[in-house]
């Protein structure tokens, strides 16, 4: 039997430094936590921050180097398991940034750092490892690595969702996450095993070549695509595989929900883009030429509409801000899927740009909930009455995030949605654009409900109206997210160019 050996040469690993650094950081943070016996929590915290910054610096350097050389078509790592190319570089930066701000903000969160919590160091160590796993998800170009990276992200997420061991809600969220995650990954795996059987290849380019040669039965391929799409839709929480999402976000500690709503979703999109674009669209703009018997655009368009409509309509009647944000994140997955309908490079680039914007504004909104939860110990909308005046600066930034999530100009969310809409309209998918626009109008209502509670409603007699004192680090992190949200709404071309480049420099 021929065994295809994928033995890495050490020299490959120099392209993989950020991930390697994060893995080492994880081990050091865990050991550091052990050495200080969980008492001096700043040790794992400092190690994690330092590791994330170092990895980020290397990722930026690699990105610059790739851009200067004029071509970033990719270096394969560990045989052909992974590839570092323009798209991987883009997602690396996105994940490191998201994790860094989450780690910084979690330092001030009562849910993570509260007196009664155990194993605080583990949160930081796991976030670092989660970052590395998500980065691998964006780099995988082999069915094996695709599965392993998805499972790595999944397993870490299950533990992080159950971080508050003493809280039944947290454990319950974690259990639901495990059960749904395990079954959906099994379904995806079944699809992958059939795909391997039909094509005889594990690498994406091998699968593509087998598909081009046309020996694959179209009906069997449809089954495979549906099975694999199901597993990936679970990761990004698209309807009808979204059931876990609101429960997990509500039950998990809010900083964890924040990173869940951004990181694994973006990683899921990265994986979907690379897998479907390089195998089924043959890495070209000709769309889904290899799978003519599958009405791919309609399949994804229906999923997109269902996802955004469901997310928005259910978000309307939420009274818990955290749960409302969970449904809103489902709706945003619906918008993002619009860029996926035609598998064109313009659409994919707009997904990347929107993911960047979404990371900023959604993390910001979740972090505000964390900051308020520290004081109120509640996420109920009714408790938010008048909260805007008790912490005006943070409140103003929350308004920016919410306005951006709605997609109101001149904020970044508007630009991101604009690009997504153009990608669809270019190919005459008018009905999809109209439904999405109507959805945005619906979302205005529930985002505005939060703003109204914060600033416009008159609090009941006897409500505590003393100013809230937020930690200085919270202001810093919120500003780190709010300023780009504003700036990207006005000076977006640079970053849109980066997204275009990332898609253009995707190695097959």
Partner 1 sequence: MEITLTHYLLLAAAIFVTGMVGFIVRRNAIVMLMCVELMLSSVNIVFAAFSRFHLDGGGHVFVLMNFAVAAAEAAIGLAILVEIFRRRRTVNVDDLKTLME
Partner 2 sequence: MTAMPFLGTATSALTGHYATVLIFVLVGFVFAGLALGVAKLIRPSNPSPAKMTTYECGELPIGSSWIRFNVRFYLIALFFIVFDVEVIFLYPWAVMFRTLYPIAGLGAIVFWEMIIFLGILTLGLAYVWAKGDLDWVKKLTERPENGAATAALEEEASAP
Give the interface with partner 1 as residue ranges (CB under 8 A): 1-4, 143-144, 147-148, 151, 154-155, 158-159, 162, 165, 168-169, 171-176, 178-179, 182-183, 186-187, 189-190, 192-194, 196-197, 200-202, 246-247, 250-251, 323
When the beta carbons of 223 and 444 are compared against partner 1, the nearer one is 223
What CA–CA distance (Å, rounded) separates 453 from 383? 9
Nearest-approach distance from CB 3 to partner 1, in angstroms: 4
Name, in order, each residue with C-beta under 8 angstroms of 342's C-beta and a sequence gap of 6 or more: 287, 297, 423, 424, 427, 429
Q: Using CB under 8 A, which of 71, 193, 212, 219 touches partner 2?
A: 219
Q: What's the sign of the alpha-carbon dihedral 100, 104, 107, 108?
A: negative
CB 93 within 8 A of CB 63: yes
φ/ψ of 26, rounded to 5, equals: -60, -50
3-state secondary structure of 294: coil
Quote the DSSP letter at residue 1. -
Q: Using CB under 8 A, which of 2, 10, 70, 462 touches partner 2?
A: 10
Residue the block writes with tokens 């876990």: 244
The yes or no reply on residue 217 touching partner 2 (CB under 8 A) is yes
Contact set for partner 2, span 21-60 (CB under 8 A):
27, 30-31, 34
**73 contact choice in partner 2, partner 1, none (CB below 5 to 8 Å, kind-dependent):** none
The yes or no reply on residue 4 touching partner 2 (CB under 8 A) is no
The CB-based long-range contact list for 26-35 (8 Å cut-off, 24+ gap) reads 26/51, 26/125, 26/126, 26/128, 26/129, 26/132, 29/121, 29/124, 29/125, 29/128, 30/121, 30/122, 30/125, 32/121, 33/119, 33/120, 33/121, 33/122, 33/125
CB 13 within 8 A of CB 23: no
When the beta carbons of 35 and 286 are compared against partner 2, the nearer one is 35
Nearest-approach distance from CB 245 to partner 1, in angstroms: 11
CB 400 within 8 A of CB 363: no
Nearest-approach distance from CB 377 to partner 1, in angstroms: 17
The yes or no reply on residue 317 touching partner 2 (CB under 8 A) is no
Quote the DSSP letter at residue 455. I
**187 contact choice in partner 2, partner 1, none (CB below 5 to 8 Å, kind-dependent):** partner 1
**215 contact choice in partner 1, partner 2, none (CB below 5 to 8 Å, kind-dependent):** partner 2
Q: Using CB under 8 A, which of 220, 298, 473, 483 touches partner 2?
A: 220
When the beta carbons of 116 and 317 are compared against partner 2, the nearer one is 116
When the beta carbons of 118 and 464 are compared against partner 2, the nearer one is 118
Nearest-approach distance from CB 165 to partner 1, in angstroms: 6
């Amino acid at each position: 039997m021929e065994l295809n050996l994928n033995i890495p040469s050490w020299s490959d690993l120099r392209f993989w430094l950020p991930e390697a650094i994060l893995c080492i950081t994880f081990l050091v943070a865990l050991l550091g936590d052990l050495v200080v016996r969980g008492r001096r929590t700043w040790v794992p915290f400092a190690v994690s921050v330092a590791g994330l910054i170092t990895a980020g610096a290397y990722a930026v350097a690699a990105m610059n180097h790739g851009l200067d050389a004029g071509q970033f078509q990719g270096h394969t790592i560990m045989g052909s398991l992974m590839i570092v190319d323009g798209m991987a570089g883009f997602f690396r930066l996105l994940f490191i940034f998201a994790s860094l701000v989450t780690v910084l903000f979690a330092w001030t969160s009562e849910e993570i750092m509260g007196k009664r919590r155990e194993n605080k160091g583990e949160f930081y160590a796991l976030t670092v490892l989660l970052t590395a796993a998500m980065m691998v998800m964006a780099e995988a170009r082999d069915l094996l690595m695709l599965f392993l990276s998805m499972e790595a992200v999944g397993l870490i997420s299950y533990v992080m969702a159950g971080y508050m061991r003493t809280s039944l809600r947290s454990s319950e969220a974690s259990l639901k996450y495990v059960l749904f995650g395990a079954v959906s990954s099994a379904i995806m795996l079944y699809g992958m095993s059939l795909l391997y059987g039909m094509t005889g290849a594990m690498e994406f380019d091998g699968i593509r070549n087998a598909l081009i040669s046309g020996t694959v039965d179209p009906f069997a391929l449809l089954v495979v695509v549906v099975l694999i799409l199901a597993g990936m839709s679970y990761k990004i929480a698209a309807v009808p595989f979204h059931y876990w999402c609101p429960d997990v976000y509500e039950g998990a500690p809010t900083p964890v929900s924040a990173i869940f709503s951004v990181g694994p979703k973006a990683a899921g999109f990265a994986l979907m883009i690379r897998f479907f674009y390089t195998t089924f669209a043959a890495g070209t703009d000709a769309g889904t030429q290899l799978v003519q018997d599958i009405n791919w655009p309609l399949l994804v368009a229906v999923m997109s509409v269902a996802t955004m409509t469901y997310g928005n309509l259910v978000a309307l009647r939420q009274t818990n801000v955290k749960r409302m944000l969970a449904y809103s994140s489902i709706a945003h997955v619906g918008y993002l899927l619009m860029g996926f309908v035609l598998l064109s490079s313009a659409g994919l680039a707009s997904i990347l740009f929107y993911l960047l914007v979404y990371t900023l504004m959604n993390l910001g909104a979740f972090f505000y909930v964390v900051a308020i939860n520290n004081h109120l110990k509640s996420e109920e909308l009714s408790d938010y009455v008048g909260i805007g005046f008790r912490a005006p600066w943070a409140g103003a930034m929350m308004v920016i995030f919410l306005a951006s999530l709605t997609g109101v100009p001149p904020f970044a969310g508007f630009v991101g949605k604009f690009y997504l809409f153009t990608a669809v309209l270019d190919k005459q998918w008018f009905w999809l654009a109209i439904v999405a626009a109507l959805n945005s109008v619906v979302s205005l209502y529930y985002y505005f409900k939060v703003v109204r509670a914060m600033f416009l409603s008159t609090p009941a007699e006897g409500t505590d109206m003393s100013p809230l004192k937020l930690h200085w680090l919270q202001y810093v992190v919120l500003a780190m997210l709010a300023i780009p949200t504003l700036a990207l709404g006005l000076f977006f071309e640079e970053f849109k160019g980066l997204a275009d480049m990332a898609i253009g420099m995707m190695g097959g």
